[in-house]
């Protein structure tokens, strides 16, 4: 994701690997979000729409979920589950 900050105002330095939130395309059910499409802003009308082919963020294929796959190239000891 672009910029995020912790409670101290310092920029976070960890990559978002997985997103498990209410999915409004699925009646608000909690689910894994596979990707977030980039947005396109029409400069004339200021309207916003999602790109059909550009992806802003996508979940890591092997380092996502409540149980991390053994194929994940990252160290699980350095991962942090953040909940709200």
Percent of the chain at pLDDT above 90? Answer: 55
Task: Kindly state whether residue 84 falls inside one of the protein's structural domains.
Answer: no
Owning domain of residue 1: 1-70
Q: List the single range of 9-23, 33-47, 65-79 with lowest mean pLDDT.
A: 9-23
Task: Kindly state whether residue 49 falls inside one of the protein's structural domains.
Answer: yes
Task: Kindly state whether residue 62 falls inside one of the protein's structural domains.
Answer: yes
pLDDT band (50, 70, 90) for residue 5: low
Amino acid 76: pLDDT = 86
Structural domain count, the chain: 1
pTM (2 d.p.)? 0.66
Rg (CA), the chain: 16
Task: Kindly state whether residue 6 falls inside one of the protein's structural domains.
Answer: yes
Task: Kindly state whether residue 77 falls inside one of the protein's structural domains.
Answer: no
pLDDT band (50, 70, 90) for residue 60: very high
DSSP labels for the chain?
A: ----B-TTSPBP-------EEEEGGGTTEEEE--EEEEEEE-TTT--EEEEEEEEEEE--SSS-SSS--TT--S-GGG------
Task: Kindly state whether residue 41 falls inside one of the protein's structural domains.
Answer: yes
């Amino acid at each position: 994701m672009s910029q995020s900050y912790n409670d101290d105002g310092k920029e976070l330095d960890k990559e978002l690997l997985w997103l498990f939130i209410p999915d409004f395309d699925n009646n608000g059910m909690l689910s894994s979000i596979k990707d977030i499409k980039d947005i396109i802003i029409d400069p004339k009308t200021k309207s916003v729409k999602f790109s059909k082919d550009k992806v802003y963020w996508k979940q890591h294929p092997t380092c996502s979920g409540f149980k991390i796959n053994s194929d994940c190239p990252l160290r699980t000891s350095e991962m942090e589950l953040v909940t709200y």
